[in-house]
C-alpha cells in the first residue's frame, strides 16, 4: 500500500500557517484588550490598559516576522512556484494584510472608549 | 484550452461483458418500500436537494405572508405573536433547513462523480444525515401550525428567550429542535472532508481539484469549527431554561452577551459556510459557459481558504451596538474589511474568465450575472456596516435586512438556481427549458431588486426590523408596498421554476441528458448507477477538454477498477496530497439501520421539546440501538485478498491506522469535540471576566485531593487502553480484553470522585454563573465518560464475537483515539475548574 507521501498534516499546516498565525494574533490582542477594559487596574496598581499598545505592537511584530518566513521562499523561487509553496505564501500574504489592518487602529482609537 | 494529453491505460484490453452487469447488480437501487433504505449518492443527493428546495419554498411562503402584512400601514392581517413566529421561522428555516443542507446536498449529489469516485466514503452516513434532516425538519416546521413556533428571532437572544420572558415551549422548539440539523450538518461535513481528501481520481493532485470540491472542503472544515459554538450555546440556554443554570442571568453573574459571542462565532462563519460552496458552483459554471479555463485558479483557491479562516474573526461585527471596547470593535471592523479582499479576488476571476472566453448566454450564465450584480451590492453595503459609526446608525433597521438579503440571496440563491439549470442534465433525462428559464431569471432578478433595493431607503428612513406593522405617514408606506410587489414577483419566478421542474425533471442515473454544455470536469463523464464504469487517471483540471478519449475509455472500462473484484460495492481510496491509489474500500449496502437511527434521532429531539422525557429516551435508545446494529456490520476486516485494479497495481481491500478512512473520520469528530470544549473554556473565562465576584476563594473549592485522584485514575485508564492496544498487536486476546475492561471502572471512578468533590464543597449549579460553569464541565466529563465506556463495551463485545484481531482492528483504533482524547479533555477541564480559581484567587 502507498503511504501518505508527501504527508498530509505538514502539507495542510504549511498551507494554513499564515492564517493560523493571524488567528493567534487576533486571539491575543482581542483577549488582552477585553481583559484590560474589564479589569482596568491590576491588583499591583499597574493599569492593564497601558499595556495594550505594547501587547499589540509586540504580537504584531512577531506575527509579521513569522509570516515573512512563509512568504520569502516563494519570492526567492525562480520559475514556477510549486502549488503548496505558492499557497503557503499567498495565504500568509493575505493574513499579513489582516494582521496589519487590525493593528493600525491602536494609533487612532481609544482603547476602551 | 490546453494541449491534448495522453495517458497509458491501466486496462487496455477489452473488458468481459459480464463485468458491467455485475457492477449494475451490486449498485442496484432497492425497490418498493425498501427505496427508503437507498444509500447511492445519486439518489440520496436528489432527495436531499429536493427537500432543501421544499424548505426554501416553505420559508418563502412565510416571507410572503410578512410582506403582505407590511404592504400597507396598520394592517391587521397578522397579529404580533404570529408575526414574531413568522420572522423567526423564516430566518431559521432559510439558514438551517435550506441554505446549509442545500449546499451539503449538492456536495452529496455531485462530489463522487466530480472526483471520479464510485460514491462518498460513508454513504450510510449521508443517508442518515438526510433522513434526520427530512423528518426533523418537517416536524420542526409544522410547529408554526400549532402556535408553537419560536418567537425570539433566528438568533434567539437572551434574556428575551429566557424562561422569564419567553415561557412555554416555543423557544425550546428552536433550542432542541435544531439539534438534529447540527448532527446532520456535522455528519455531512465529515463525509465531505474525507470524500474530497481520500476518494479523488489518481492524478487529481491538490492543484487539480475542481474548485467546487475545494469550496466544499473549506465549507466542511468551517462546519467542524463553527457549529460547535452553536451546539454549546443552545445547550447552555436550554440548561438555563430547563434547570435554571444561570449562564445568561446577570443577577447571578451570568451575561447575555455570552450567548451573542457563541452564537455569532457560529453565525458569521455561517454566512461564508453558505456563500463559499455557492461561489464554488459559480467557479465551475463560469468556465464552461465561457468555454475557457478559470482565470486565476490558484488565486481562487487562496481566496476560498483565506475567506474560510478570516470569517472566524468577524463575529463581533454583529455586536457593535453592545458596548464592547472601541479598540476591540476596530479589530473586527478591520477583519471585516480584510475579508473583502478574497471575495474581490473571486469576483475578478469570474469577470476575467467571462472576458477571456466566448460566453454562452444561457440561463446558468444569466443567474451567474445576476449573482455578480447582487452580491457585489451586498458586499459593498457589508463594507458600510463594517464601519462602526455607520453600523450604529443602521443597526436593527431595514437597511440591515436589505444588506443581508443582498448577500445571502445574491450570494447563495442566484448561484443555486444557476446550478439547478447547469447540473439538471447531469441528474435528469431532460434539461430544463431555456425559454422558461429566462422568464424565471427575469422575474426573480427584477423581483429581488424591486423588493430589497427600496429597503435600504426604508432602513435609512428609520424603519426598525421585526415590527409587525407601522403607522402611516412616516415615509415608509410606498417603499413597503413596492417591496411587497417585488416579493410577489420573486414568488412568481419560483413558481414558474417549480412548474418547469415538474414538466422536465425525470431522474435518470443511466440515461441522463448528459454533457449538454461541453464541460470539462469529471461529473460529465458518461455514468450509471455505479457512477463511472472505471476510475480515470487525470492530467489536468479540465480532463474532458484535455484528454480526448477519456469519456470513451472510462466507459469501456480501460481505467482503474473497471468491475467489482470483491463482488461488492467498492471505491478507490487515494493519498490526500498526490492522489496515489492506496487501497480499495469495501462499501456498505442499503439497510434499514441508518434510516431507523435517523428517524428516532429526530424523534428524540422533538419529543424532548414537548417535555415527553420518557418517550424521548425510548426514541433515543432505539436510535442508539439502530446505530449499534449499523456499526456492527462495518469493519469487515480483510475478507478478500488484495485485488488487481489495473496497470499492474494490486491493492488491499482493508486498511487500519492513520491511512484508513475510519481513522480520518474519528480525527474529524475529535476536532468537533475539541471545538465544543474550547467554546466551553471560552464561556468559563468570559463569565469570570465579567463577574469575578461570583468566583470562589481557594478555601471554598473542593479539596485538591479530589481532582488529583480523578486525574490519576484518568491517566491510569489511558495507560490501560494503550496497553490493550499493544496486547492486541501482539495477539494476546486475554490481555487485550482484561486491560480494556479495566479501563472502564477507572474512567467511571474518576467521574464519581470529581462529582463527590463538588458535592462536598456544597456547590449547586443554580447558585451562580460560576457554579453553572463548573457543573457544565462535570456534565461534559460525564457525557464523554459515558460515550467512551459505551465504545469500550462495544469493542469488547466485538472481541467476544471474534470480530477483533491484530489485523481487524479499526473498531479498536476508534475507541483508542476517542479514549485518549476524552482523558486529555477531562484533564484540561479539571485543571481549569480546580486550578484556575486557585491561581487567580
What confidence tens digit (pLDDT) does each residue in B212-228 have? Answer: 999 999 999 999 999 99
Quick: pLDDT tens for B598-617: 999 989 988 988 889 999 99
Measured CA distances, B448 to B382, B418, B435, B452 (Å): 18, 16, 20, 6
Share of chain B above pLDDT 70, in %: 99
Residue B510 pLDDT > 90, yes or no? no
| Per-residue confidence band for B183, with pLDDT thresholds at 50, 70 and 90 | confident
B762 or B5: whose pLDDT is higher? B762
A73 touches chain B (CB under 8 A): no
The pLDDT of B420-447, averaged and rounded, is: 97
> Across the interface, do A6 and B207 touch by the CB < 8 Å criterion?
no
Residue B181 pLDDT > 50, yes or no? yes
The per-residue pLDDT for B527 is 87
Question: In the structure grid, which three cell numbers stand for residue B605, read together?
Answer: 429531539
Question: Quick check: helix, strand or coil at residue B534?
Answer: coil
> Across the interface, do B652 and A1 touch by the CB < 8 Å criterion?
yes
Report whether B334 contacts A102 (CB < 8 A).
Answer: yes
| Per-residue confidence band for B511, with pLDDT thresholds at 50, 70 and 90 | confident
> Across the interface, do B577 and A6 touch by the CB < 8 Å criterion?
yes
The per-residue pLDDT for A40 is 72
Quick: pLDDT tens for B615-670: 999 999 999 999 999 999 988 888 899 999 999 999 999 999 999 999 999 999 99
The pLDDT of A22-35, averaged and rounded, is: 94
- Closest to B575 (Cα-Cα) out of B203, B122, B120, B118: B203
Residues forming beta bridges with residue B681, ordered by sequence position: none
The per-residue pLDDT for A44 is 65
| φ, ψ of residue B660 in degrees (nearest 5) | -80, 150
Taking contacts as CB-CB distances below 8 angstroms, the residues of chain A near B331 are 26, 29-30, 33, 102, 105
Please name the residues in contact with B230: beta carbons below 8 A apart, sequence gap of 6 or more.
Answer: B182, B262, B263, B266, B267
Q: How far apart are CA A27 and CA A21, in angstroms?
A: 10
The per-residue pLDDT for B2 is 47
Question: In the structure grid, which three cell numbers stand for residue B178, read together?
Answer: 435544531
> Across the interface, do B331 and A105 touch by the CB < 8 Å criterion?
yes
The per-residue pLDDT for B1 is 46
Q: How far apart are CA B793 and CA B533, in angstroms?
A: 41
The per-residue pLDDT for B383 is 87
Q: How far apart are CA B247 and CA B266, in angstroms?
A: 18
Measured CA distances, B284 to B115, B295, B315, B826 (Å): 13, 12, 30, 45
Share of chain B above pLDDT 90, in %: 90
Quick: pLDDT tens for B120-140: 999 999 999 999 999 999 999
Test mutation, B307, B323, B327, B337, chain A, max A CBs within 10 A: B327
Quick: pLDDT tens for B46-69: 999 999 999 999 999 999 999 999
The pLDDT of B149-176, averaged and rounded, is: 93
Q: From the centroid of its chain, how far is CA B173?
A: 20
Burial class (CB in 10 A: 0-12, 13-18, 19+), B733: middle
The owner of cell 462495518 is B634
Report whether B229 contacts B266 (CB < 8 A).
Answer: yes
The per-residue pLDDT for A2 is 58
Please name the residues in contact with A58: beta carbons below 8 A apart, sequence gap of 6 or more.
Answer: none
Please name the residues in contact with B561: beta carbons below 8 A apart, sequence gap of 6 or more.
Answer: B118, B534, B535, B570, B571, B572, B584, B645, B646
Residue B78 pLDDT > 50, yes or no? yes
CA distance A11 to chain B (A): 8
Share of chain A above pLDDT 90, in %: 65
Report whether B434 contacts B362 (CB < 8 A).
Answer: yes
The pLDDT of B423-428, averaged and rounded, is: 95
Rounded to 10°, the helix A8-39/A83-103 angle is 10
Taking contacts as CB-CB distances below 8 angstroms, the residues of chain B near A95 are 306, 309-310
Please name the residues in contact with B355: beta carbons below 8 A apart, sequence gap of 6 or more.
Answer: none
Q: How far apart are CA B507 and CA B710, in angstroms?
A: 58
Report whether A87 contacts B305 (CB < 8 A).
Answer: yes
| Per-residue confidence band for B775, with pLDDT thresholds at 50, 70 and 90 | very high
The per-residue pLDDT for B609 is 86
Least confident of B178-182, B470-474, B760-764: B178-182
Taking contacts as CB-CB distances below 8 angstroms, the residues of chain A near B582 are 1-2
Minimum Cα–Cα distance from A37: chain B residue: B325
Quick: pLDDT tens for B795-812: 999 999 999 999 999 999
| φ, ψ of residue A34 in degrees (nearest 5) | -60, -45
Question: In the structure grid, which three cell numbers stand for residue B368, read together?
Answer: 451567474
Q: What ipTM was predicted for this assembly?
A: 0.93
CA distance B671 to chain A (A): 14
Report whether B109 contacts B46 (CB < 8 A).
Answer: yes
Give the ranges where B579-693 is alpha helix by DSSP (H).
593-609, 613-632, 661-690
| Per-residue confidence band for A41, with pLDDT thresholds at 50, 70 and 90 | low
Residue B509 pLDDT > 80, yes or no? no
> Across the interface, do A22 and B309 touch by the CB < 8 Å criterion?
yes
Question: Quick check: helix, strand or coil at residue B387?
Answer: coil
Give the ranges where B39-122 is alpha helix by DSSP (H).
41-70, 80-92, 100-115
Mean pLDDT of chain B: 95
> Across the interface, do B658 and A113 touch by the CB < 8 Å criterion?
no
Burial class (CB in 10 A: 0-12, 13-18, 19+), B15: middle
| φ, ψ of residue B571 in degrees (nearest 5) | -145, 170
Residue A3 pLDDT > 80, yes or no? no
Q: How far apart are CA B682 and CA B677, in angstroms?
A: 9
User: Quick count: other Cβ atoms within 10 Å of Cβ B273?
Assistant: 28
Q: How far apart are CA B755 and CA B783, in angstroms?
A: 13
Q: How far apart are CA B41 and CA B535, in angstroms?
A: 16
The pLDDT of B398-410, averaged and rounded, is: 96
Question: Quick check: helix, strand or coil at residue B817?
Answer: helix
Report whether B36 contacts B599 (CB < 8 A).
Answer: no
| Per-residue confidence band for A1, with pLDDT thresholds at 50, 70 and 90 | low
The pLDDT of B731-741, averaged and rounded, is: 97
Report whether B619 contacts B607 (CB < 8 A).
Answer: yes
- Closest to B46 (Cα-Cα) out of B426, B571, B582, B555: B426
Measured CA distances, B318 to B109, B260, B315, B480 (Å): 34, 9, 6, 25
- Closest to B231 (Cα-Cα) out of B692, B747, B628, B783: B783
Number of A/B CB contacts below 8 angstroms equals 132
Measured CA distances, B81 to A32, B150, B729 (Å): 43, 10, 63
Amino acid at each position: 500500500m502507498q503511504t501518505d507521501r508527501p504527508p498530509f498534516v505538514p502539507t495542510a499546516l504549511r498551507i494554513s500557517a499564515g492564517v493560523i498565525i493571524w488567528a493567534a494574533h487576533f486571539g491575543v490582542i482581542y483577549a488582552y484588550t477585553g481583559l484590560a477594559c474589564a479589569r482596568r487596574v491590576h491588583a499591583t496598581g499597574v493599569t492593564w490598559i497601558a499595556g495594550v499598545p505594547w501587547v499589540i505592537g509586540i504580537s504584531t511584530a512577531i506575527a509579521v516576522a513569522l509570516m515573512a518566513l512563509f512568504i520569502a521562499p516563494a519570492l526567492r523561487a525562480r520559475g514556477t512556484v510549486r502549488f503548496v509553496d505558492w499557497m503557503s505564501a499567498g495565504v500568509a500574504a493575505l493574513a499579513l494584510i489582516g494582521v496589519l489592518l487590525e493593528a493600525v487602529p491602536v494609533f487612532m482609537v481609544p482603547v476602551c472608549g | 484550452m490546453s494541449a491534448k494529453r495522453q495517458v497509458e491505460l491501466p486496462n487496455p484490453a477489452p473488458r468481459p461483458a459480464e463485468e458491467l452487469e455485475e457492477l449494475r447488480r451490486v449498485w442496484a437501487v432497492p425497490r418498493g418500500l425498501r427505496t427508503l433504505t437507498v444509500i447511492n449518492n445519486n439518489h440520496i443527493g436528489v432527495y436531499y436537494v429536493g427537500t432543501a428546495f421544499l424548505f426554501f419554498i416553505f420559508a418563502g411562503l412565510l416571507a410572503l405572508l410578512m410582506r403582505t402584512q407590511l404592504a400597507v400601514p396598520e394592517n391587521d392581517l397578522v397579529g404580533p405573536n404570529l408575526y414574531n413566529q413568522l420572522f423567526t421561522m423564516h430566518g431559521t428555516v432559510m439558514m438551517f433547513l435550506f441554505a446549509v443542507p442545500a449546499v451539503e446536498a449538492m456536495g452529496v449529489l455531485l462530489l463522487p462523480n466530480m472526483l471520479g469516485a464510485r460514491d462518498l466514503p460513508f454513504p450510510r452516513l449521508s443517508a442518515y444525515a438526510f433522513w434526520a434532516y427530512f423528518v426533523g425538519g418537517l416536524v420542526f416546521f409544522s410547529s408554526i401550525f400549532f402556535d408553537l413556533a419560536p418567537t425570539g428571532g433566528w438568533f434567539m437572544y437572551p434574556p428575551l428567550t429566557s424562561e422569564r420572558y419567553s415561557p412555554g415551549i416555543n423557544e425550546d422548539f428552536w433550542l432542541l429542535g435544531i439539534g438534529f440539523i447540527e448532527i446532520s450538518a456535522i455528519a455531512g461535513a465529515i463525509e465531505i472532508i474525507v470524500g474530497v481528501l481520500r476518494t479523488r481520481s489518481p492524478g487529481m493532485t491538490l492543484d487539480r481539484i475542481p474548485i467546487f470540491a475545494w469550496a466544499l472542503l473549506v465549507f466542511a472544515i468551517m462546519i467542524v469549527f463553527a457549529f460547535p459554538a452553536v451546539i454549546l450555546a443552545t445547550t447552555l440556554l436550554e440548561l438555563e431554561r430547563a434547570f435554571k443554570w444561570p449562564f445568561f442571568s446577570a443577577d447571578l453573574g451570568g451575561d447575555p452577551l455570552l450567548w451573542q459571542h457563541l452564537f455569532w462565532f457560529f453565525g458569521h462563519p455561517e454566512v461564508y459556510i453558505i456563500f463559499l460552496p455557492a461561489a464554488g458552483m459559480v467557479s465551475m459554471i463560469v468556465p464552461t459557459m465561457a468555454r475557457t479555463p478559470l482565470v486565476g485558479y490558484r488565486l481562487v483557491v487562496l481566496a476560498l481558504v483565506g475567506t474560510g479562516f478570516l470569517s472566524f474573526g468577524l463575529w463581533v461585527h454583529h455586536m457593535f451596538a453592545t458596548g464592547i471596547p472601541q479598540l476591540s470593535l476596530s479589530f473586527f471592523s478591520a477583519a471585516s474589511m480584510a475579508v473583502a479582499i478574497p471575495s474581490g479576488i473571486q469576483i475578478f476571476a469570474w469577470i476575467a474568465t467571462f472576458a477571456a472566453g466566448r460566453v454562452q448566454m444561457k440561463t446558468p450564465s444569466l443567474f451567474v450575472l445576476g449573482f455578480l450584480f447582487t452580491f457585489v451590492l451586498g458586499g459593498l453595503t457589508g463594507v458600510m456596516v463594517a464601519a462602526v459609526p455607520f453600523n450604529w446608525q443602521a443597526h436593527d433597521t431595514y437597511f440591515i435586512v436589505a444588506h443581508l438579503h443582498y448577500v445571502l440571496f445574491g450570494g447563495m440563491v442566484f448561484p443555486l438556481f444557476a446550478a439547478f439549470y447547469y447540473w439538471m442534465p447531469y441528474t435528469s433525462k431532460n434539461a430544463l427549458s431555456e425559454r422558461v428559464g429566462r422568464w424565471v431569471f427575469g422575474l426573480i432578478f427584477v423581483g429581488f431588486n424591486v423588493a430589497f433595493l427600496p429597503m435600504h431607503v426604508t432602513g435609512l428612513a428609520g424603519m426598525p426590523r421585526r415590527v409587525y406593522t407601522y403607522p402611516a405617514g412616516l415615509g415608509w408606506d410606498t417603499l413597503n408596498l413596492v417591496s411587497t410587489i417585488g416579493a410577489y414577483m420573486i414568488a412568481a419566478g419560483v413558481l414558474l421554476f417549480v412548474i418547469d421542474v415538474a414538466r422536465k425533471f425525470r431522474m435518470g442515473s443511466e440515461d441522463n441528458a448528459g454533457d449538454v454544455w461541453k464541460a470539462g470536469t469529471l461529473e460529465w463523464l458518461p455514468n450509471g448507477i455505479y457512477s463511472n464504469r472505471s476510475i480515470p487517471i487525470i492530467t489536468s483540471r479540465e480532463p474532458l477538454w484535455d484528454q480526448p478519449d477519456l469519456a470513451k475509455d472510462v466507459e469501456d472500462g480501460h481505467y482503474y477498477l473497471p468491475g467489482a473484484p470483491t463482488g461488492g460495492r467498492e471505491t478507490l481510496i487515494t493519498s490526500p496530497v498526490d492522489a496515489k491509489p492506496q487501497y480499495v474500500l469495501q462499501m456498505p449496502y442499503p439497510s434499514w439501520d441508518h434510516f431507523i437511527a435517523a428517524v428516532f434521532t429526530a424523534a428524540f429531539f422533538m419529543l424532548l421539546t414537548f417535555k415527553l422525557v420518557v418517550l424521548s429516551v425510548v426514541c433515543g435508545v432505539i436510535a442508539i440501538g439502530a446505530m449499534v446494529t449499523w456499526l456492527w456490520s462495518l469493519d469487515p476486516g480483510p475478507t478478500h485478498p488484495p485485488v488487481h485494479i489495473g496497470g499492474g497495481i494490486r491493492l488491499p481491500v482493508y486498511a487500519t491506522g492513520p491511512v484508513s478512512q475510519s481513522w480520518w473520520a474519528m480525527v474529524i469528530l475529535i476536532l468537533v469535540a475539541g471545538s465544543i470544549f474550547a467554546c466551553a473554556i471560552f464561556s468559563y473565562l468570559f463569565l469570570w471576566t465579567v463577574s469575578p465576584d461570583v468566583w470562589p476563594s481557594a478555601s471554598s473549592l473542593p479539596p485538591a485531593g479530589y481532582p488529583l485522584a480523578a486525574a490519576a485514575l484518568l491517566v491510569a485508564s489511558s495507560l490501560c487502553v494503550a496497553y490493550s492496544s499493544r496486547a492486541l498487536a501482539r495477539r494476546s486476546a486475554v490481555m487485550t480484553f482484561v486491560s480494556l475492561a479495566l479501563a472502564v471502572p477507572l474512567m467511571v471512578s474518576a467521574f464519581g470522585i470529581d462529582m463527590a468533590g463538588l458535592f462536598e464543597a456544597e456547590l449547586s449549579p443554580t447558585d451562580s454563573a460560576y457554579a453553572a460553569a463548573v457543573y457544565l464541565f462535570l456534565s461534559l466529563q460525564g457525557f464523554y465518560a459515558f460515550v467512551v465506556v459505551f465504545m469500550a463495551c462495544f469493542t469488547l463485545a466485538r472481541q467476544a464475537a471474534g470480530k477483533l484481531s491484530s489485523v481487524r482492528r479499526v473498531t479498536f483504533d476508534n475507541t483508542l483515539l476517542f479514549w485518549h482524547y476524552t482523558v486529555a479533555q477531562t484533564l484540561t477541564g479539571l485543571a481549569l475548574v480546580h486550578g484556575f480559581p486557585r491561581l487567580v484567587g
